[in-house]
Structure 1
């Protein structure tokens, strides 16, 4: 099977991935079920097609180059997508109920995604697979075909994705109901002076915005706990260990916890969207899933009417 117009062969990519996975042409030959000379020939053909030296050869040993390891990620994503395609064809041919895979931050599993699944089940006989991860992981799940729909935030690359808007959100401060902030209508950065802060990992822009606001005022924040994914902070806040900054959409998921929230300034504006792979043709089941997902996340279910791809 030839891929695109580059002359790449599917078998070459499968061999390449297996060699890097198992560490030798001998073990790759055993795993795939072809001879070791055939493995070597596929690798040489791949290098010739790409114009890249993917391996350093010495005696009976080959060592992957830096370019080989960089290429592996793209190859693995492409082959995973093909595996997903094959599974989809099998599913279409079978009499099994279709399944929809939805990727989103794990925090949405508290309230919103159960509501979405309930609506999907009410309209279709489909089962749902819920996949969790960061925005970057959600996009990866979509691109590799592991997820049909995802919940992410803009910006997104319009060359790779289509999307429907579902909600916008601003920052809020969450805290224990008995905290002094309960008497306030809103919270500003200066109010955090002297407060124990439960803060998201420094890699996130939210962290930089909140912490920089304090440092601009000459105050070093008292960070008592750092967490790396939305949802991890609410247990600490409800236990009275500190306050935290998140956004309105995430804060809605904490309705069952012992926390309150107030608007926080300075604030950013977050644009949440339902996202899928560019050019994806929607089945009836997938269309029904999007119709269930969008209003479940929207602040006003009548405010947004998504365009379902035909």
Structure 2
């Protein structure tokens, strides 16, 4: 233990001003720049850094050539401080959004597959009757949140029908996963495809932890069929783009596949049937937003229309 560490005798809890000063010095790299950003002076910031080190009980900076160099402990502390300030910035952003909203604010958490397909159409219909509502869309999986951590959405769009604690799960539509083929592919000659049709064929897969990827893999394993799986993509849209460019074929959710029909891909049914659900998750302990029910109704109607389009294409 060095002499400076032994000299710290008055260890106390940090106050907000000390944390702000520490963050500024770490962020800007020099005491002078940090002082300017905080509207203070260089001697004041230097004095406060010394008090901060006395408070925490260990050195945060090494003094070399009239400059401060963060220690390893300072780097770890800065990581935690940044996380706390990001949380504060999100709170301030939320306050500004609520302040600028003329009516309700509807928070939606939707998987990208839904945020890019059924949600825009449902939103367009909602705005025809509720033009003043403000909407905040987060393209993440609502299942990553829980009643323990607190739901941060009014409506979550998910591909599961599983029961979620403290939330209502509302079915919006039930579909079948479909085969997506490049134009003029030999398999386009058939209306219904089976695992054996894909033997030794270039296949675009979703990420290895995707539940539908795992379902498809089990189906082919059960059938004893080997595919050439050289490409995988984390999103269904990326998989469709790969197919569109002739890099292989795939099987995935019909909503994303339907959105690519006008771009030239072909869709075919797959057997055995692989179900695909669309559900809305609505937290029961969160204050209700009146337009939420209207949006759910539009989402269900949009799903029904997508189902009709698919049935017509796959007939």
Indicate the TM-score class for this superposition, using the shorter chain for normalisation: 0.5 to 0.7
Equivalent of 1:261, from 228, 246, 268? Answer: 268
TM-superposed CA distance for 1:243, in Å, is: 1.1
Once residues 164 and 18 of structure 2 are traced to their aligned partners in structure 1, the CA distance between those partners, rounded to angstroms, is 30
Q: 2:106, 2:292 within 8 Å by CA — same for their partners in 1?
A: yes
Q: Does 1:84 align with 2:93?
A: yes
Q: Which residue of 1 aligns with 2:120?
A: 114
Q: 1:189, 1:266 within 8 Å by CA — same for their partners in 2?
A: no
Once residues 125 and 109 of structure 2 are traced to their aligned partners in structure 1, the CA distance between those partners, rounded to angstroms, is 17
Against the structure 1 CA distance between its residues 75 and 178, is the aligned structure 2 distance closer, same or farther, given a 3 Å change threshold? Answer: same
Against the structure 1 CA distance between its residues 229 and 125, is the aligned structure 2 distance closer, same or farther, given a 3 Å change threshold? Answer: same
Q: Which residue of 2 aligns with 1:292?
A: 298
Deviation per residue, 1:12-59 (Å, 9 max, x gap): 7766766665556765554344553557767987x79xxxx9x85544
Q: 1:102, 1:129 within 8 Å by CA — same for their partners in 2?
A: yes
Deviation per residue, 1:101-123 (Å, 9 max, x gap): 64534444664233112211111
Q: RMSD across aligned C-alpha pairs, in angstroms?
A: 4.9
Return 5+ residue gaps in structure 1 as ranges: 1-6, 302-310
Q: 2:178, 2:253 within 8 Å by CA — same for their partners in 1?
A: yes
Once residues 56 and 156 of structure 1 are traced to their aligned partners in structure 2, the CA distance between those partners, rounded to angstroms, is 49
Against the structure 1 CA distance between its residues 214 and 19, is the aligned structure 2 distance closer, same or farther, given a 3 Å change threshold? Answer: farther
**Aligned ranges for residues 16-55 of structure 1 at < 5 Å?**
21-22=27-28, 27-33=33-39, 36=45, 37=47
Relative to the length of structure 2, the TM-score reads: 0.62
TM-superposed CA distance for 1:82, in Å, is: 0.9
Q: Does 1:200 align with 2:206?
A: yes
TM-superposed CA distance for 1:124, in Å, is: 0.9
Relative to the length of structure 1, the TM-score reads: 0.63
Deviation per residue, 1:141-195 (Å, 9 max, x gap): x9796x7644334489957977544334443322246444445564343332121
Once residues 8 and 277 of structure 1 are traced to their aligned partners in structure 2, the CA distance between those partners, rounded to angstroms, is 37
Structure (1 or 2) with the larger CA radius of gyration: 2
Against the structure 1 CA distance between its residues 209 and 291, is the aligned structure 2 distance closer, same or farther, given a 3 Å change threshold? Answer: closer
Against the structure 1 CA distance between its residues 16 and 293, is the aligned structure 2 distance closer, same or farther, given a 3 Å change threshold? Answer: farther
Return 5+ residue gaps in structure 2 as ranges: 1-12, 308-315
Once residues 38 and 162 of structure 1 are traced to their aligned partners in structure 2, the CA distance between those partners, rounded to angstroms, is 52
Query: Secondary structure of 1:231's partner?
Result: helix
